[in-house]
Amino acid sequence: MKTLINEEQLGEGIRRLAAEIHKHYEDKPLTIIGVMIGSVVLLADLIRLLDLPLRVELVQARSYRAGSTRPGPLVINVELLSRGIQGRDVLLVDDIFDTGHTLWELIPQIDELGPASVRSAVLLWKEGRSEVAMKPDFAAFTIPNEFVVGYGLDYHDRYRNLPYLAALEPHEIEDQATNNPAGNNA
Ligand code: 5GP
Ligand code: MG
C-alpha cells in the first residue's frame, strides 16, 4: 500500500472544496445528500466546514461486490430521503467519480423530485475513466486509475479508518469476482 494523499494534503483539499462550495451557494439554503457508504467521512467534514443553512440527507448506491475491485450491478436507494427537496438547491456528495455511472443514474432520480438545482461534489476524480457525458461540479483531487482506500473508502471492510488516502498495490488486490450477490458495498 502506498500513500497517495497524506493527511495534511487531504485536510487542505477538503477545506478548499468546502470554500468553493460555500462561494458557489453563498448563504443560500442547501440540501447536501451523501451517497453512502464511502462518502460519510467527507460528509462529516463538509458539514463542519460549511457555514450555511444546511439540510443533510443520505441515499445509498452500491456497485462494488465484496471481495472485488470490479463493479457489479448498480443499486440506488433514494427512498432514504427523509424530507422533500422540491425547490431546493441540492448538492450530491460522493467519495469517487470513477466511471461516473453512480452519479449519472442518481441525478435523474433526484431531478424527478423537483429540486431548484442539482450539483455534485466528490473527493476524488479518476480522470479519464468516465463512461458518461458529465463531470462532477466540484472535486477536491484528481487521481490516477488506482484502487484507493482510507478516509471512508474500504477494501474488504478494511482501511475506512485511515486518516489519509492510500493506493493498493496490485498484489494486495485479490480481484476474483465473487459469486456473492448479497455482499456488495460502495
Ligand atoms: P462510479 O459509478 O463513478 O464508477 O463509481 C463510484 C463508486 O465506486 C464510488 O462511489 C466508490 O464507492 C466506488 N469506487 C470507485 N473507485 C474506487 C476505489 O478506487 N476505491 C474504493 N474503495 N471504491 C471505489
Ligand atoms: Mg460510492
Higher model confidence: residue 128 or residue 180?
Answer: 128
Q: What pLDDT is attached to residue 43?
A: 98
Q: What pLDDT is attached to residue 80?
A: 87
Q: What pLDDT is attached to residue 178?
A: 41
Average pLDDT over residues 165-174: 93
What distance in angstroms lies between residue 64's CA and the mean position of ligand 1's atoms? 7
Active-site positions? 98
CA-to-CA distance for 112 and 73, rounded, in angstroms? 22
pLDDT digits (tens, 9 = 90+) for 23-48: 999 999 999 999 999 999 999 999 99
Query: What nine digits make up the cell of 22?
Result: 460555500
Confidence at 176, pLDDT banded by 50, 70, 90: very low
What distance in angstroms lies between residue 27's CA and the mean position of ligand 1's atoms? 31
CA-to-CA distance for 44 and 87, rounded, in angstroms? 25
pLDDT digits (tens, 9 = 90+) for 87-131: 999 999 999 999 999 999 999 999 999 999 999 999 999 989 999
Tell me which residues have their CB closer than 6 angstroms to ligand 1: 38, 63-64, 71, 94-102, 147-149, 153-155, 186
Higher model confidence: residue 141 or residue 127?
Answer: 141
Q: Is the pLDDT of residue 160 over 90?
A: yes
Q: Is the pLDDT of residue 184 over 60?
A: no
Cα dihedral 66/163/101/103 (nearest 10): 130
Buried b (16+ CB within 10 A) or exposed e, 31-60: bbbbbbbbbbbbbebbeeebeeeeebbbbe
What distance in angstroms lies between residue 95's CA and the mean position of ligand 2's atoms? 6
Which atom of ligand 1 approaches the CA of 99 most closely? 4
